[in-house]
Amino acid sequence: MRPRVLMAMSGGIDSGVAAMLLREQGYDLVGVTFRTFDSITESCMAREKGCCSVDSIFEAKHLAESLGFEHHILDARDVFRRTVIQNFVDEYLRGRTPNPCVLCNPIIKWGELLRMADELHCDKLATGHYARIGECDGRHYLRKGADTLKDQTYFLWRLTSDNLARTIFPLGDLTKPQVRELAAGHGFVKLSQKKESEEICFVPDNNYRNFLKENVPDLEARMPHGEFVSVDGRVLGEHEGLYNYTIGQRRGLGIALGAPAYVVALDGPNNRVVIGEKQHLQSRSLLVERPILTKYDDFADGFEVSCRIRYRNAGTAARLYHADGAIRVEFDQPVESVTPGQSAVFYEGDDVVGGGVIVG
């Protein structure tokens, strides 16, 4: 008898095909879709979309029923707002650029859902992520998905060995085109053609600035206008509040340097946006806080890895060094637009060694 599995379903093609595959392999499935936010606000009245909308919940429920297993809805709106959304707001107020998916995964998908798995007597949790799991000496760690264009390990680095020991990634060895073919081959043609959204799920109009204005009543007072300054400290003009800018931004600055101008730093303590040329975006090192190691318990200074500093980043050869509870990353070649608040994830081949949040 195969284990009883809680299947996290978004209503999309990936979790749908994952469920089909596990069902065919004889697993006893229980479907669940979580509700994390209300995306229709008084000011924008935007139509809900994404993985947690009302439409997606009903699509997931219908798919589970079509495949012949029960489906539950988990209301996680309160914990999601207190943790993921609050962190998103707090990070912008600190002059950093957050990645909410990195926090949502351990708190909601492997936090709330694993608790629900226990309540429903499920041994495992399955998702539609493009990732794989390795094991060595009883330690479980992430491995890149076979589809290099869809690999999602960058967002999953905070998962622990205990989390992964209870996890199944049915799509880890598949490519997206293969997943679409499987959906169509199982008779779900409409699902096989469904488009994906890469927007932040709780910002349905894809405008995080509007979201901050709606959720931080005193935003303008807490993040007032300030100075644009050059890399050598010259005042260049007035910015409209730090939350409006991110590292590497070029458009909408209204600053002339005689060359293309970029945001190269956000100076929160002095309420300044530092402007420079493209060369000033280059960095040879960075520092991460709250690091989590997955493949190993520890490492020796100088440990060689490939470090990714954003999702669509192929990775750059680097070395890791301990730094008073943090990790300093030194790159073999300069990297561009190191952004505090984003994640740096360390790889050894296809294996995830660990990661942390960039602080500088």
Active site residue ranges = 104, 201
CA distance 240 to 256: 16
5, 123 contact by CB (below 8 A):
yes
Q: Strand 124-126 vs strand 167-168: parallel, antiparallel, or unpaired?
A: parallel
303, amino acid identity: F
Strand ranges for the chain from DSSP E: 4-8, 28-35, 71-75, 124-126, 131-136, 139-144, 167-168, 226-230, 235-239, 262-267, 272-276, 282-293, 303-308, 316-323, 326-336, 343-348, 351-358
75, amino acid identity: D
What is each CA distance from 98 to 84, 353, 358, in whole angstroms? 10, 21, 10
Q: At what angle do helices 13-24 and 176-185 cross, to 10 degrees?
A: 60
342, 99 contact by CB (below 8 A):
yes
CA distance 318 to 327: 12
Backbone angles phi, psi at 31, to 5 degrees: -85, 150
User: Which residue, 318, 357, 315, 320, is CA-closest to 339?
Assistant: 357
**Burial bucket for residue 142 (CB in 10 Å: 0-12, 13-18, 19+):** buried
